[in-house]
Amino acid sequence: MKIAIAQLNPTIGDLAGNAQQILDAAHQAATQGARLLLTPELSLCGYPPRDLLLQSAFVAAMAHTLEQLAGALPHDLAVLVGMAEPNGRSLQVGGKPLYNSTALLENGKVRQIFHKRLLPTYDVFDEDRYFEPGQESTSFAIVQGSATYKVGVTICEDVWNDEVFWGQRNYHANPIAELADQNVDFIVNLSASPYTMGKQKLREAMLHHAANRYQQPILYANQVGGNDDLIFDGSSVGFNRQGRMVCRGKAFESDLVLVEFDPSTRDFQINPAAIAPQPSSSDTEVWAALVLGVRDYVRKCGFSKVVLGLSGGIDSALVAAVAAEAIGSENVLGVLMPSPYSSDHSVNDALALAQNLGIQTQLLPIGDLMKTYDQTFAELFAGTEFGIAEENIQSRIRGSLLMAISNKFGHLLLSTGNKSEMAVGYCTLYGDMNGGLAAIADVPKTRVYSLCQWLNQSSDSGNGTASLEVIPAHILTKPPSAELKPGQTDQDSLPPYEILDDILAQMIHDHKSAADIVASGHNPAIVERVVKLVTRAEFKRKQAAPGLKVTDRAFGTGWRVPIAQGWMPMLNATQPAALPTSIRVHRTIS
C-alpha cells in the first residue's frame, strides 16, 4: 500500500484556497497509486489560526468546506485533513469549545474524526486557549485489496512526550505507547511544527527513538511556509520499525512524498530516492528560512514589492539580499538617505550592493530636513547639549520617508534591525524600527556576518567555478556604525558583538542568571550593563514590527515579558532582596 505525505503551504483562514491545495495533492497522489494521503495539522484552516477560532462563522465555514472537499476527492483515496471540530459537550461540562482534530475523508464522506490529546502552551503555542484535549488515542482501518491495515493517528505534540527520550514526561499520557499497545500497523503524525535552527535534527532523533523503542513505523507530515512571524520548514519524515529513515520531504518547499507499506514485513520500504537532503549548514537553513518567511509574508499579505533603507551597512545588505531572492530583484527598492554625517563609502557601498543584487535605488539626502528640525527646535533646545534626541531625529526622518514611499506606492517596508540591537534597544522607535516586517529581528549580529560571508562563498558565476561578491567586501570589513554623529561606531555604545551575543544567548536562550553569565567568564560590569539594557528596552520590542522567528527564543509571539516591572536579574544571586538604586531601571524613549 502506498501512502503519500502532502507537505502543504496553507494561508491561514483561506478555507477555499487551502481545500484546493489538498484536492490538488489528492489528485497527484491518486495518479501515483497512493491509497492514503496525509496532510498537516489544521491543514484546512492553516496553523496557527489563533483567535479566528473564536468566530463561530469561521468554524461553521470550515465544517462546510470539509464536507465539500470530501465530495470532491478521488473515491479510491482516503485523506486525513486537519480541522477544528466543535466540542458538543463543552457547555455542559465547562470545557473548551473546540477540538484540534483530524478528519478521515473517504468515499465522499467524513468517515471518522480524531482529536489531539496533548495541547502545548509554551513558547508560541497557546492551544489550551481554544481546544479541549482528546481523551483517547484511536486508529482507523483502511482496506487495500484483500488486506486491512490499522493506522494509529496522532497530531503534532502527541509524539513529543516520551519520558525515556526527554528524561521526563510533560503530560500524563503517551499516545505513541498507547497506540503501540493497540497493535496498529503504523502510526501517522500530522504536524505544524515551526522552524527553529537545528530543530529537524531533534525531530528526527525523537521519531527515530520512538519508532525503535515501540517497534512502530511512523510517518510525520509537517506544514511548510511562513505565517506571520512563524516559518514552517516541512521536512516531513518517515521511519521503519528499526528506526531507519524511509523518506523525507524537501526542506522549506511544498512537496509530495510517497512511501510504501509492505504487508509481508509489516513495515515501510526504504527508498533512498524519497529521502530529500537537508541543508548543509546552519547558515544554509537560516537563509532558506528567511527567504521563505519574507516571500510568504509579502505574498499572503497581498503585497508585490518591498522597500527598505540601504545604509551601506551589513544589516540592510542582508535584508536586501534576502528580499531579492524571495520576491525577485525587480520588486525591491532600496532607498539611500545620507546625512551630513554619512561617509562617502556608505553611499558607495550601498550602490555597489544594489548593483550586485540588481535592485532599484532612490537617493533622498536628508541634510536639509535635519536643518529644518534644528530650526524648529532651536528655541526649545537652547542651552542643552547635542545628544540622543538630535541623533534619533535622523533615524525618524528616514523612517518617515520610507513610510511615505510605502504609503504612496503600496510597497511593504522591511525594517533591517538585527536581534542584538533589538535585545539592548539599540534602535529608534518610529525611525529604523518602522516597517511591516522585521526580516532579521531574530538573527544576532554575529550570525548576520556569518550569513553574508556564507552568501558570498556559496554564490558562483553560473558555471560553479568562480565566486561572486554579492555583499561588497568593504561592508563586511568596516566597523558597524549608525553614523548618527561624526566618527561614531556601534562599539562606542555596545560591547563587541562577539561578547554581546554570547551574553545575550546565555540570558535569553539559556535563562541564566547574571551571576552565572559572569561565572562563564564575562566582565561583571559589562554583564550588568547588558542586563539593564535588555530590561529597559522591552517597551520598544512591544512596538516593533513582526519579526521572523529562526531561533528557539525570539522577541515575538512566544516572548511574554512585562514592560512595567520591578525585577532585575542580579549579579549576586544570593541576595534577592531590594535592588540597589544604581541598578534600578530608568526608561527613556529613544
User: Which residues participate in catalysis according to the annotation?
Assistant: 41, 116, 156
User: Is-contact 305 409, C-beta < 8 A?
Assistant: yes
As a three-state string, the secondary structure of 277-297 is: CCCCCHHHHHHHHHHHHHHHH
Which residue spans within 310-373 are E strands per DSSP? 332-336, 360-363
Q: How many CB atoms lie within 10 A of CB 182?
A: 11
Measured at the alpha carbon of residue 469, what is the angle toward residues 465 and 470, in degrees to the nearest 5? 115
Q: Is 275 helix (H, G, I), strand (E, B) or coil?
A: strand
Three-state DSSP class for 415? strand
Task: Give CA separation, 331 vs 322, 325, 357, 464, 523, in Å.
Answer: 12, 10, 11, 27, 46
Give me the phi and psi of 124, to 5 degrees please: -85, -5
The answer to whether 34 and 3 are in contact (CB under 8 A) is yes
Q: Are 451 and 283 in contact (CB under 8 A)?
A: yes
**Using the 8-state DSSP alphabet, how is residue 259 labeled?**
E
Distance from C-alpha of 383 to C-alpha of 363, rounded to nearest angstrom: 34
Cell numbers linked to 249: 520531504
Tell me the backbone φ, ψ of residue 282, rounded to 5 degrees: -65, -35
Cβ-Cβ contacts under 8 Å for 394 (sequence gap 6 or more)? 339, 341, 366, 370, 431, 484
